[in-house]
Amino acid sequence: MGTPLRPLYMKEYRTLLSVSGPIVVFNQVRDAALGEIVEVTTGDGTARRGQVLEVNRDRAVVQVFTGTRGMDMETTRGRFTGEVARLGVGVDLLGRVFDGSGRPLDGEPVLLGEKQVDIGGLPINPFARNHPEDFIQTGFSAIDGLNTLVRGQKLPIFSCFGLPAAEIAAQVAVQAKVTGQGQSAASEPFAVVFAAIGITHREASYFRTRFEQSGARDRTVSFLNLADDPTVERIMTPRLALTAAEYLAFERDMHVLIIMTDMINYAEALREVSTACEEVPGRRGYPGYLYSDLASLYERAGRIKGKKGSLTQLIILTMPDDDITHPVPDLTGYITEGQLVLSRELHRKGIYPPIDVLPSLSRLMNAGIGPEKTREDHRNVADQLYALYAQGRDVRRLVAIVGEAALSAEDRLSLDFANRFESEFLNQGRAARTIYETMGRAWELLSMVPDSLLKRVRADHIQKYYRKRTNHD
């Protein structure tokens, strides 16, 4: 697989020194290379694949993708192949399903591809980057109206256990399109790369079924590492998916949306490997290089000067104990350009999607805000909605203390606005809304408030749209 580093020969060693979890250490190894693929064979002839994690003089630390159970110190041997992990890429990737290490799961033959690419990859050089732009219409008012997604952006969904993050991501993948310059998904090549990292069979089945039913299967590439698959394999899965996405985006000029779920499982696998290597732990036992490791994945998204394609990341991350200050979501928030936070409270109310817009944000919203017909008032309307909803939430907390009877007329109006904002703007079921419908609903809500309270909207916009704008404006 791939071009050998040392094509003339391979070296086999019977010098297994130690076994710890998914990690084995070979002694007296010569010329081992970081990232080199190793074929580990047990005494009964069972072959497993691994990769060199660390080289220290004549010792090579190897992570075995399928675990080390049954390995015997005396009879186990390792063959250092002189290769690095590579993926065969080509247009035939589309429509294929692979496991977490790149082997076919769809009954089709192994993809040889047009060429073999090192899955290690590199973050995009900042000098070569084009600033993300072009509004992506997701069909969700909470995103399109208040936290706009832009081509080339990396945007995580911070979820809690039991919330419908997978459903939201799948719906975005199916219905996302560009309307900013009069373009649509049908006018430009568009692809979805799906990386399942330690998710359940039910979640994986949901994604595959949704892609097939929507007709998106032929433009989707899937890499599935499920909950009962080897833990260490989860470190390889997102890198395989990103390699496929980069090829389609930057060599085939496609606009690619890559969905990676669930990144907390990737971080747990990273911690397991770090512990087995006896590295000094950082926060909550995660390795000290967690930030740079996550950045090496997230920073592979973007747009490149001179390239027509783009790579947009939608990252699903389940927060342990619903804690947004946990190291993984905390560091992810630093690296990415915003966040969508799902709310358990909104979910209990039956609101879908349960996106809590107050802690959510899109740092690139201004760069790709709406098509021309909505651009003039979009930013101001979003700010006004935020302000009024935040005020209504404060009043809701006050009611729990003093009761609704103690509220002033303005407080009651704020409370009514917050309730209607959740039930009419955030809550939309499985229906997709255009940006025009989203802005129409926004002005309908703002029109329930006296125009004298609309401090963040320009007077000419109030005169133009107040109580007048409809879904078809």
Q: Is 158 left (phi over 0), alpha (psi -120 to 50) or beta?
A: beta
pLDDT score for 3: 43
Q: What is the DSSP string of 417-444?
A: HHHHIIIIII--TT----HHHHHHHHHH
The count of residues in the chain is 473
Q: How far is CA 282 from the centre of its chain?
A: 24
pTM of the entire predicted model: 0.87
Query: What's domain 11-83's architecture?
Result: Beta Barrel (2.40)
Count CA atoms closer than 13 A to 270's CA, side-chain side.
25
Tokens read off for 344: 């358990």
Specify the 3-state DSSP secondary structure of 410. helix
Q: What is the reported pLDDT for 186?
A: 42
For residue 42, give Cα distances in angstroms to 46, 60, 244, 441: 5, 18, 32, 64
Q: Is the dihedral of CA 221, 227, 230, 235 positive or negative?
A: positive
The set of residues, in sequence order, having a beta carbon less than 8 Å from that of 444 and lying 6+ positions away, is 424, 469
Coil, strand or helix at 277: coil
Q: What stretches of 3-114 adopt beta strand conformation (E)?
A: 11-13, 16-20, 23-26, 36-41, 47-56, 59-64, 77-84, 86-89, 97-99
| Pairing assessment for the beta strands 135-137 and 255-261 based on DSSP bridges | unpaired
Burial degree of 320 (CB within 10 A; 0-12, 13-18, 19+): middle
Nearest Cα residue to 336 out of 307, 302, 387, 359: 302
User: What single string gives the DSSP state of each residue in 174-212?
Assistant: HH-EE-TTS--TTTS-EEEEEEEEEE-HHHHHHHHHHHH
pLDDT per residue rounded down to tens, the chain (473 residues)? 444 444 445 678 888 888 888 889 999 888 888 888 899 988 888 888 888 988 888 899 998 887 788 788 888 889 998 888 888 898 889 988 998 888 888 888 888 778 888 888 888 888 999 888 788 888 999 999 999 888 899 999 999 998 999 889 888 888 887 664 434 434 578 888 999 999 888 888 888 888 888 777 788 899 999 988 888 889 989 999 999 999 999 999 998 999 998 899 999 999 988 888 888 888 888 999 999 999 999 999 999 999 989 999 999 999 999 999 999 999 999 999 999 999 999 999 999 999 999 999 998 888 777 666 566 788 889 999 999 999 999 999 888 888 877 888 888 999 999 999 999 999 998 889 998 899 999 999 999 988 888 899 888 888 888 875 444 34
Pinpoint the residues of the chain covered by CATH 2.40.30.20: 11-83
The answer for residues whose C-beta is within 8 angstroms of residue 212's C-beta and 6 or more apart is: none
Backbone angles phi, psi at 221, to 5 degrees: -120, 130
| Delimiting residues of CATH 1.10.1140 domain(s) in the chain | 373-465
The whole-angstrom separation of Cα 318 and Cα 261 is: 9
Phi, psi at 71, each rounded to 5°:
-80, 135
CATH of domain 373-465: 1.10.1140
Which CATH code for domain 87-370?
Answer: 3.40.50.12240
First-residue to last-residue Cα distance in the chain: 56
Helix (H, G, I), strand (E, B) or coil at 362: strand
Buried/exposed code over 369-391 (b: 16+ C-beta within 10 A; e: otherwise): bbbeebeebbeebbebbeebbeb
- Residue 54 confidence (pLDDT): 87
The closest of 175, 177, 172, 227 to 199, measured between CA atoms, is 227
pLDDT of residue 293: 93
Instruction: Provide the token pair at 330.
Output: 């905390």
